[in-house]
Amino acid sequence: MTDHGSSTPPGTPGTPRPTARGGSGWLMARPFGIPVYVTPSWLIIAAIITLIYQPVVERTLQLGPASYLVAFVFAVLLYVSVLIHELAHSVTARMFGLPVSRITLYMLGGVSEIEREAPTPGREFLVAVSGPVLSLVLAAAGALAYGFVDPQTILGVLIWQLWVANLLVGVFNLLPGLPLDGGRLVRALVWALTRRPRAGTVVAAWTGRALAVLIVAVPVLYGLRTGEAPNLFGLLWALLLGSFIWMGAGSALRAARLRERVPTLRARALGRSVAVVGADTPVAEAQRRMREAGARALVVADAAGTPTSIVNESAVAAVPDSRLPWVPVSSVSRAITRGSVIRADLEGEELLEALRAHPAPEYLLVEADGGVYGVLRTSDVQEAFTRR
């Protein structure tokens, strides 16, 4: 439930971040076993890049309509560079035992979805710096290769554009503000100096907000200095870029507040006491017994007293009141599986890991000896995060 980054501009990949599984996009490949998804929005930026670079290709090579194809190939290769950047983050994270659910390429760049925060500032630094370092290495290799090709050929044009693009990707991501990789480096440094990860996030996030303001201000100030109206495309791009950096920094601040609450989460404290009923018990009768027992959840057990399912509140709410005396609890219950049984003594990150491993609306809490302690609802855990 933590956030390690946000959206970034084209060619400037996002920093690693954990997120929920799922999401939209086309599954394109699984390098190193990491699913790579491309969202439909990529088609928009690919078309924009093609239109922007086509005149450059045409002036250099004079290919006619074929110049559009070369420009489109550049758009594809540019996002291959973004993918390589994200793979550097993901592979480094995996080396440190941090789970990576997927990489997503979209209109504004790419993001590595890492499900857990680095445990130390040193590892945070290495995961963050790996992407820009690889981008700069690719830029250096491209610049070297460019010296051995004819610049007036298709290969020469593509190599030139790619090494410049990787240089921009690497340098831009090193700017010191969240959600960029440079912001992660600032966070790691402040974390190491203060021994407080929240302090690192606050400093890096506000640096990111200052960076967002500066990006928007540059074209405006340049226009005032030269006496010319700012370029409309450049101004719109600065506004888009600045707004996403600002929102990413804000997201990091909110995530930091949530992370502070993780150690306070205790399954035993959040669990609901239960009343145990038979599968044939009418819902109305089960609710009466629950009220009498002062319980807040219902567990269905078999004849031997073994819990088999948990009554689902949403399913009960969908039953008309007039039907409650006739509907058995077995018809509004969710079967208890191995994944929906967790220990009542779980706390903090260990508790969240158990919930992430087997997502469900509710879980049966058991003691070390196997005895039933209560029921933990996912909604109660979410409320514990969001309440002020």
Look at residue 341 and tell me if it is in a domain.
yes
Cα separation, 48 vs 33, in Å, equals 31
Whole-number pLDDT of residue 378: 92
Look at residue 13 and tell me if it is in a domain.
no
Structural domain ending residue among the three candidates 264, 284, 319: 264
pLDDT, tens digit (0-9, with 9 covering 90-100), for 290-338: 999 999 999 999 988 899 999 999 999 999 999 999 999 999 999 999 9
DSSP-based three-state secondary structure for 5: coil
Do 247 and 321 share a structural domain? no
Do 286 and 304 share a structural domain? yes
Classify residue 12 as exposed, middle or buried by CB count within 10 Å of its CB (0-12, 13-18, 19+): buried
Do 236 and 315 share a structural domain? no
Identify residue 214 by its one-letter amino acid code.
Answer: L
Whole-number pLDDT of residue 5: 36
DSSP type of residue 324: T
Do 249 and 120 share a structural domain? yes
Do 283 and 146 share a structural domain? no
> Is the separation of the CB atoms in 299 and 310 below 8 Å?
yes
String of DSSP letters for 46-113:
HHHHHHHHHHHHHHHH--TTHHHHHHHHHHHHHHHHHHHHHHHHHHHHHHTT--EEEEEEETTEEEEE
Whole-number pLDDT of residue 326: 94
Give the residue among 89, 94, 137, 138 at the shortest CA–CA distance from 109: 89
Do 79 and 49 share a structural domain? yes
Give the residue among 181, 24, 6, 167 at the shortest CA–CA distance from 93: 181
Whole-number pLDDT of residue 19: 37
Look at residue 17 and tell me if it is in a domain.
no
Structural domain ending residue among the three candidates 212, 243, 264: 264
Do 364 and 240 share a structural domain? no
Look at residue 147 and tell me if it is in a domain.
yes
Do 97 and 47 share a structural domain? yes
Look at residue 21 and tell me if it is in a domain.
no
CATH number assigned to the domain comprising residue 299: 3.10.580.10
Do 216 and 89 share a structural domain? yes
Do 273 and 124 share a structural domain? no
Look at residue 168 and tell me if it is in a domain.
yes
pTM above 0.85, yes or no: no
Residues of the chain with pLDDT under 70: 1-24, 388
Look at residue 47 and tell me if it is in a domain.
yes
Look at residue 300 and tell me if it is in a domain.
yes
H/E element holding 279?
A: none
DSSP-based three-state secondary structure for 283: helix
- The upper half-sphere exposure of residue 387, i.e. CA atoms within 13 Å in the direction of its Cβ, equals 9
Structural domain ending residue among the three candidates 264, 289, 307: 264
Do 278 and 236 share a structural domain? no
Do 107 and 177 share a structural domain? yes
Whole-number pLDDT of residue 17: 38
Whole-number pLDDT of residue 116: 82
Structural domain containing residue 166: 26-264
Q: What token pair was written down for 144?
A: 């070297």
Whole-number pLDDT of residue 8: 33
138-163: buried (b, 16+ CB within 10 Å) or exposed (e) per residue? bbeebbeebeeeeeeebebbbbbbbb
State the total domains in the chain: 2
